[in-house]
Structure 1
Amino acid sequence: MQQRKIVIFGESQLASLAHFYFKHDSPHEVSAFTVDRDYLNTNEYENLPLVAFEDVEKHYPPSEYSMFLPISFKKMSHLRREKYEAAKEKGYHLVSYVSSKATTWPDLDIGDNCFIFEDNTIQPFVKIGNNCVLWSGNHIGHHTVIKDHVFITSHVVISGSCVIENHSFFGVNATIRDETIIAEATLVGMGAIITKDTKPGEIHLGQSSKKMAKKSIDLDSISHKSKG
């Protein structure tokens, strides 16, 4: 893996976590942080420079620096996608982080700006797209394809030969049957069990996989207290 100097987007717990993981478990060197100018209230974070995203390339040019954007799942990861695309438009190479404590196989097929935490088991022939987050302790079965801007929390089981479409979200302890297609922007809630293909924007809550009337993109937040 080529060593890179990187700028992390954000001044949040996710940004702090990213800094920790890169510092202790990566060849990359974190050089600075960046946030939108409207949220720039100081010039330092984690004892490193903090600059406005609007002109980050003036301070840390993409010819010399890469970027990592550890942004949350709000609006089904559309906000993360917007910043991801903005960083790409500025010309930045986006690095991915895969924990050394994750179980993977050689030649893992993974896109850019992915954040894969410890204790993930990723079986052979899995493909992971761009801008995905896999929190700790998940099982991703063989020949499964995870597309772009997907957020998987913890202890999720995705069985073999599944297809996970863009912008899907999986709550803690969700389980997906093998050869299942999870359609774009499907919200699979905590503890839900999915045994058949979903439709775009559906919300499945609880072990009974209750389907809500709303579309996932309409939710301001993701909560087990949401009502249809």
Structure 2
Amino acid sequence: MGKVIIFGNTQTAELALYYLQNDSEHEVAGFTVESQYIHEPEFHGFPLVPFETVEQQFPPLEYLFFAPMTAAGMNQVRARVYEQGLAKGYQYISYISSHATVLTDKIGENCFILEDNTIQPYVQIGNNCVLWSGNHIGHHSRIGNHVFFTSQVVLSGNCQVNDYCFFGVNATIRDSSVIGEGTFVSMGASVMKQRTEPWSVWKGSAAEKSTISSKDLKF
């Protein structure tokens, strides 16, 4: 347990503050974001300092770091900030809701796991992942780094999810599937195939591969 610096000054950072204050033993000490996005010196009454120089005011040996960001740029923006925080020397926390059912201890750092998630035995989750509320993560599934689950996603058992994937609300993935790096599964899609190609987009029920690349998506 320790003092934590949260990256961001948007609604996601605001939610992180709420969860850490109400369902965590960590103490929030301040916020940080790139200087171009700072318009006030404080956020929710805490100091808001430039990320470029955050280690000067909040030394890595004294403070922990948390960057629970959105899936912008197919999670690559969050991955960049995560890597920059590591380069500055920070150790990351993860937030796992006390209202989630978590039956594994194989969860990496800088993960943001909200209420009502069911994570079954033998699941492995990498670093820098977000699981919004109400997902089902099936037994023996392996989730890579920089992955984003929205809500009510069903990932069936024994799946392999590679880095940078995104799953829209109510998406369903069949058992033993291999989800290629950077796959975008749209809202309500049902992926019935055993394997998806890297940086592909899947939509519909049963989902079919789109003609565009997930790298071209703007959200």
TM-score band, normalised by shorter chain: over 0.9
Q: In percent, how many aligned pairs have the same letter?
A: 51
For residue 20 of structure 2, the aligned residue among 1, 19, 22 is 22
Superposition map of 1:2-41 within 5 A: 3-41=1-39
Extract unaligned runs of 5+ from structure 2: none
C-alpha displacement at 1:207, in angstroms? Answer: 1.7
Aligned pair partner of 1:132 in 125, 129, 132: 129
1:49 aligned residue: 47
Task: Give the whole-Å Cα distance in 2 for the aligned partners of 1:155 and 1:165.
Answer: 20
Q: Tell me the distance in 2 between the aligned counterparts of 1:220 and 1:192.
A: 19
* 1:205 pairs with one of 203, 206, 213: 203
Partner residue, 1:103: 101
> What corresponds to 2:186 in structure 1?
189
AA at the equivalent of 1:219: L
Q: In the aligned structure 2, how far is the partner of 1:47 from the partner of 1:171?
A: 33
Instruction: Quote the residue 1:74 is aligned against.
Output: 72
- Looking at structure 2, the residues matched to 180 and 219 of structure 1 have their Cα atoms a distance apart, in angstroms, of 23
Give the paired residue count.
218
Deviation at 1:210, TM superposition (A): 2.9
State TM-score, norm by structure 2.
0.98
Preserved contact between residue 192 and residue 206 of structure 2 (Cα < 8 Å): no
Q: TM-score, with normalisation over the residues of structure 1?
A: 0.94
Does 2:156 align with 1:151?
no
Question: What secondary structure sits across from 1:62 in the alignment?
Answer: coil
> Following TM superposition, by how much is the alpha carbon of 1:140 offset from its aligned partner in structure 2, in angstroms?
0.3
Shift of 1:148: 0.3
Alpha-carbon RMSD: 0.8
* 1:114 aligned onto 2:114: no
For the Cα contact (< 8 Å) 2:74–2:164, is it kept in 1?
A: yes
Query: Residues of 1 paired with 2:38 and 2:218: CA distance?
Result: 24
Structure 1 segments (4+ residues) deviating >2 Å: none
More strand by share: 2
Partner in structure 2 of residue 89 of structure 1: 87
In the other structure, the counterpart of 2:161 is 164
What are structure 1's unaligned runs of at least 5 residues? Answer: 222-228
